[in-house]
Chains A and B, each alone.
Chain A
Amino acid sequence: GAGVSQSPSNKVTEKGKDVELRCDPISGHTALYWYRQSLGQGLEFLIYFQGNSAPDKSGLPSDRFSAERTGGSVSTLTIQRTQQEDSAVYLCASSFRADSGNTIYFGEGSWLTVV
């Protein structure tokens, strides 16, 4: 596709349920980032993948959060036992390679509401 694709675009879930959010980066991009943005706030770093290297998970807020990246392409962010404070927009971004000055492109985000 032309850009970073995220799905679902909107998700309403009940507290305690698990959710999966998907990110399809731009073809050929090896770096992939997940961020969380609460309403009216800045972006909170969650996790970063570079190619097949071990991801930097330092931003994941709790052990309920996990992320995978299969085959160095598509990534899935999983939130287990969702809580109301997990409600936010989850943004995925990709770039050709992280350790260079390449432009980083963002997807449209997955808007998660936990009720």
Chain B
Amino acid sequence: ELKVEQNPLFLSMQEGKNYTIYCNYSTTSDRLYWYRQDPGKSLESLFVLLSNGAVKQEGRLMASLDTKARLSTLHITAAVHDLSATYFCAVVFYNNDMRFGAGTRLTVKP
């Protein structure tokens, strides 16, 4: 079964703090995406991770991929209010079927 699990589902952070969102998946994949979604909006692509050990960074966000552990992380450094949104990971499986995690709703408080 193709499954993608994210945790936590809800995350409330103070500005300036660090935190990590986790994305586990059930079977082999070598492509993983992270998306951001603001309320009432569509999805914005953040990162594409293509290989084991891949690490990408953009501003206060850093994503990594461990294909052996079937795990990706999205690390938030020194959070700011503008990062408040829902973050989704999406995994592409063998038949190009892309499945999404349930999302992590992040709220950054001053």
Contacts and interface: CB of A to CB of B under 8 A. Distances in A.
B102 interface: yes
A31 B33 CA distance: 16
A104 B96 contact: no
A51 B3 CA distance: 26
Interface residues of A, number: 25
A48 B33 CA distance: 17
Given A41-B102, A42-B101, A106-B43, A98 B33 contact: no
A23 interface: no
Interface residues of B, number: 22
B96 A50 contact: yes
Contacts of B25: none
A45 B99 contact: yes
5 contacts: A43-B43, A91-B42, A101-B50, A103-B45, A106-B35
10 tightest A-B CB contacts, nearest first = A98-B96, A43-B100, A42-B102, A101-B50, A106-B43, A106-B42, A108-B42, A103-B45, A42-B103, A101-B48
